[in-house]
Every structure is written in structure tokens, then in C-alpha cells.
């Protein structure tokens, strides 16, 4: 039988809400404390690889165009030295995340500058612009790729106005060969990183779903989850007459336990009763916490007589709890409601079990009553 005043004192935050709160706080902490500050460490090896392979593509183009020594030195500086300078800059910055964001924008400036320096050679220019823009998307930083486009185009326009290169759109075979490593390796590395991200996200989603479906205190199903099972059983009964019975279990005199021994012992009592319920279940049965000190046991494939037998096992299991206090004896009351044609909705079925629980309480507690 439900006591509203008692439930308001003892019912914790609903499991799904608790799970969502914990997940949100953990996510904020992770983003603020770990992921953001360590972003530059994660990007550093990718930048070294990408810039290095980009240097191969640029070098092949410079070789095919018989470029002057100044451009070779500039390629060495931007493709081989810059990634390490960017890392040191972010490492020593008071705001590593902001510093790395600026580094990524500077990457776009470098690529934008190389487009005219390679005389607008189509293949390496298109690959470098595409790769560097995709990298901005891959960081997950909000609107970074949009912010990078003006930097890239601006660098292209400025260097074009200064360098005044003649267009050389075609690509020699050596240029094609030198572009392949960037195209192939970058695609594979990015694909593997995204694959790991998808796997991690799927794992976290499974953990969140498990948290949503499980009551943290009792390790039984949450209210939402056990009611979903009950609704499914009701639909099966309506479809093909598959039997099921609902047991509403309540700890006797729970408010007195809280008042006498304290809420800590009350919490231990709830957990101990949950363990006793779990030990008495058949393989096909489902149990969950309904709220406060009330539990639901869904006996699948059970009629009224079998549900009564299961209820007696539960009463004996609850009485067998002895580990809390030597002087404390736990008992429970159970309302039994086997599915009937008159149960048109889950609400009707729950109401029948609840009324049976009221009768068990009225008849002296520590017993089961049938609806």
C-alpha cells in the first residue's frame, strides 16, 4: 500500500533522470577538463602526418615546375617545422584549446598560400584544400570549418597579388604520384579515427541505456523499464492470451524503519529486499523498483495459482533477511493481479494489483492477497 508522505521522503530521483544528470555532468567535465585542454595533443600527430604528406605533394609539384630554392625552404618550414612549432605554442599557452583553434586556422592560411605558390596546379591544390577543410570538420569544433574558409581564401588572394603566378593547371605524373600518399593515407587514418569514435559513442550509448533501464540502488529494473515489460505482456495477452501475473510488493512498516534506524538502514533494507526478490525469481520473470519501498514482479506465463506460489516464495525470502540489525525483522505484503479480460490497459492492471496490496495490508500485513 502506498503512503504518499512516506514516498516523498524516501523516493530518490528517478533512475532515468539520475542517469541523464550524471551523464550530462560527466560530459561537461570531460569536455571542459580533459577533451578541450588535450585537443592539441590529439591533433598534433595528425598535423605532423598531414603536413608531412602535404609536403610530399607540394614537393612533387615544385619539382615538376622547377621551382626556385626559396619555395623549397618555405615548403620545409611550413610542412616539417610548423607542426612542432604549433604544438609548442599550444603547450605553453594559458588557453591550449584557443591556441590550437588558432593553429588550425593558420593551417588553412598555409594551404591557401600554397595554392598560388604551386601556380594553381589543380590536383594538389584541390586535395590540399579539401583535406585541410575536412580536418576542421573532423575536430568537432563548432563552425571552425566555416571560419577557416575566409582565412584560406584570403591567403590565396594575398599571395596571388604578391607573387603574380602564371597558371599551370596540369599535373605531371610525378605530381600525381606524390599526391597519392596524402589522398590514401589521410583517408585511411581519418576513417580509422571516425571508426573508433563511432565505436566509443555506441559503447557510451549502451552504458547510458543500461543506466536508464536499471535502478542504481537496487540493481533491479527501473520503473520505466519494468512498466515497458508489463505493457508488452499486456499486449501479448490481448493478442494471443499469453498468461502473466503482476505482483506488487511493499515492505511493511518501512516508515517506522526509517524513523527508528535512520535512512541509511532504510536504504540497506530496500537493497536487501531487492536481493531477496532477485533470488526468488524464475528465469522468465522480471522485477523492478516501482517507487520508494515498492517493487513490481512480472510473472510471465503464470496464472493466478502459480503467481500465489511465487508470492509465498517472495514473502519467505523477505522474512529471511537477517543481515541488517539483529532486532530488525523485515516482512512484506504483496498484491497479486493475474491478467484478466477486464484489464483493458496497463493502468487497470496496476490498479488491480494495488487494490490487492491494500487488502493484504488491511488483513494484517506479511501476506499476499489476490485481486
User: Which pLDDT value is given to residue 195?
Assistant: 82
Specify whether 93 is located in the same domain as 239.
Answer: no
Asked whether residue 167 is domain-assigned, the answer is yes
User: Which pLDDT value is given to residue 36?
Assistant: 62
Asked whether residue 306 is domain-assigned, the answer is yes
Is residue 152 within 8 Å of 109, Cβ to Cβ?
yes
Specify whether 247 is located in the same domain as 345.
Answer: yes
Low-confidence ranges of the chain (pLDDT < 50): 1-34
User: Which pLDDT value is given to residue 81?
Assistant: 97
User: Which pLDDT value is given to residue 128?
Assistant: 95
The domain of 200 spans 36-211
Specify whether 293 is located in the same domain as 329.
Answer: yes
CA-based nearest residue to 91, from 43, 144, 148: 43
Q: What is the CA radius of gyration of the chain?
A: 34
Asked whether residue 85 is domain-assigned, the answer is yes
For 231-290, write each residue's pLDDT tens digit: 999 999 999 999 999 999 999 999 999 999 899 999 999 999 999 999 999 999 999 999
Specify whether 117 is located in the same domain as 194.
Answer: yes
Specify whether 203 is located in the same domain as 233.
Answer: no
Asked whether residue 111 is domain-assigned, the answer is yes
Specify whether 123 is located in the same domain as 229.
Answer: no
Specify whether 207 is located in the same domain as 221.
Answer: no
How many separate domains does the chain show? 2
Specify whether 145 is located in the same domain as 275.
Answer: no
Asked whether residue 187 is domain-assigned, the answer is yes
Specify whether 154 is located in the same domain as 284.
Answer: no
Q: What are phi and psi of 344, to 5 degrees?
A: -80, -15
Specify whether 51 is located in the same domain as 187.
Answer: yes
Is residue 270 within 8 Å of 251, Cβ to Cβ?
yes
Alpha helices in 164-261 (DSSP H): 173-213, 223-240, 254-261
Distance of alpha carbon 280 from alpha carbon 183, whole angstroms: 61
**What CATH number did the domain enclosing 283 receive?**
3.30.70.270
User: Looking at 173, 192, 211, which one is the last position of a domain?
Assistant: 211
Specify whether 197 is located in the same domain as 59.
Answer: yes
User: Which pLDDT value is given to residue 42?
Assistant: 85
User: Which pLDDT value is given to residue 35?
Assistant: 54
Asked whether residue 20 is domain-assigned, the answer is no
Sheet with 286-291, edge to edge strand ranges: 286-291, 294-300, 244-251, 332-338, 368-370
DSSP secondary structure string for all residues of 63-122? HHTT--HHHHHHHHIIIIIHHHHHHHHHHHSSSHHHHHHHHHHHHHHHHHHHHHHTTT-H
Asked whether residue 313 is domain-assigned, the answer is yes
User: Looking at 193, 211, 229, which one is the last position of a domain?
Assistant: 211
Asked whether residue 5 is domain-assigned, the answer is no
Specify whether 52 is located in the same domain as 200.
Answer: yes
Mean per-residue pLDDT of the chain: 87
User: Looking at 180, 211, 242, which one is the last position of a domain?
Assistant: 211
For 203-214, write each residue's pLDDT tens digit: 888 877 777 788
User: Which pLDDT value is given to residue 187?
Assistant: 82
User: Which pLDDT value is given to residue 37?
Assistant: 65
Amino acid at each position: 500500500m502506498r503512503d504518499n508522505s512516506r514516498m516523498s521522503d524516501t523516493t530518490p530521483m528517478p533512475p532515468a533522470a539520475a542517469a541523464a544528470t550524471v551523464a550530462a555532468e560527466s560530459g561537461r567535465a570531460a569536455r571542459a577538463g580533459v577533451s578541450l585542454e588535450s585537443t592539441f595533443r590529439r591533433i598534433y600527430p595528425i598535423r605532423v602526418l598531414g603536413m608531412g604528406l602535404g609536403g610530399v605533394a607540394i614537393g612533387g609539384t615544385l619539382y615538376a615546375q622547377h621551382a626556385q630554392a626559396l619555395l623549397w625552404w618555405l615548403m620545409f618550414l611550413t610542412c616539417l617545422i610548423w607542426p612542432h612549432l604549433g604544438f609548442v605554442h599550444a603547450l605553453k599557452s594559458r588557453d591550449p584549446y584557443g591556441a590550437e583553434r588558432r593553429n588550425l586556422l593558420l593551417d588553412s592560411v598555409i594551404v591557401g598560400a600554397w595554392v598560388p605558390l604551386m601556380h594553381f596546379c589543380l590536383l594538389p591544390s584541390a586535395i590540399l584544400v579539401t583535406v585541410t577543410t575536412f580536418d576542421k570538420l573532423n575536430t568537432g569544433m563548432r563552425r571552425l570549418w566555416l571560419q577557416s574558409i575566409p582565412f584560406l581564401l584570403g591567403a590565396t588572394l594575398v599571395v596571388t597579388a604578391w607573387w603574380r603566378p602564371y597558371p599551370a593547371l596540369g599535373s605531371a605524373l610525378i605530381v600525381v604520384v606524390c599526391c597519392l600518399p596524402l589522398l590514401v593515407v589521410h583517408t585511411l587514418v581519418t576513417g580509422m579515427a571516425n571508426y573508433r569514435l563511432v565505436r566509443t559513442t555506441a559503447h557510451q550509448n549502451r552504458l547510458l541505456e543500461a543506466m536508464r533501464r536499471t535502478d542504481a540502488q537496487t540493481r533491479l529494473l527501473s520503473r520505466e523499464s519494468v512498466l515497458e515489460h508489463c505493457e508488452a505482456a499486456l499486449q501479448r495477452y490481448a493478442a494471443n492470451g499469453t498468461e502473466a501475473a503482476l505482483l506488487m510488493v511493499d515492505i511493511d512498516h518501512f516508515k517506522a524503519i526509517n524513523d527508528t534506524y535512520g535512512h541509511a538502514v532504510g536504504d540497506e533494507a530496500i537493497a536487501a529486499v531487492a536481493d531477496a526478490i532477485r533470488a526468488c525469481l524464475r528465469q522468465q520473470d522480471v522485477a523492478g523498483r516501482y517507487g520508494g519501498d515498492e517493487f513490481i514482479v512480472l510473472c510471465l506465463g503464470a496464472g493466478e495459482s502459480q503467481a500465489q506460489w511465487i508470492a509465498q516464495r517472495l514473502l519467505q525470502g523477505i522474512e529471511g533477511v537477517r543481515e541488517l540489525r539483529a532486532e530488525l525483522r523485515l516482512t512484506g505484503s504483496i498484491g497479486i493481479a493475474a491478467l484478466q479480460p477486464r484489464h483493458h490497459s496497463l493502468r487497470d492492471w496496476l490498479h488491480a494489483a494495488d487494490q490487492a496490496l491494500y487488502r493484504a495490508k488491511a488483513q494484517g500485513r506479511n501476506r499476499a492477497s489476490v485481486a
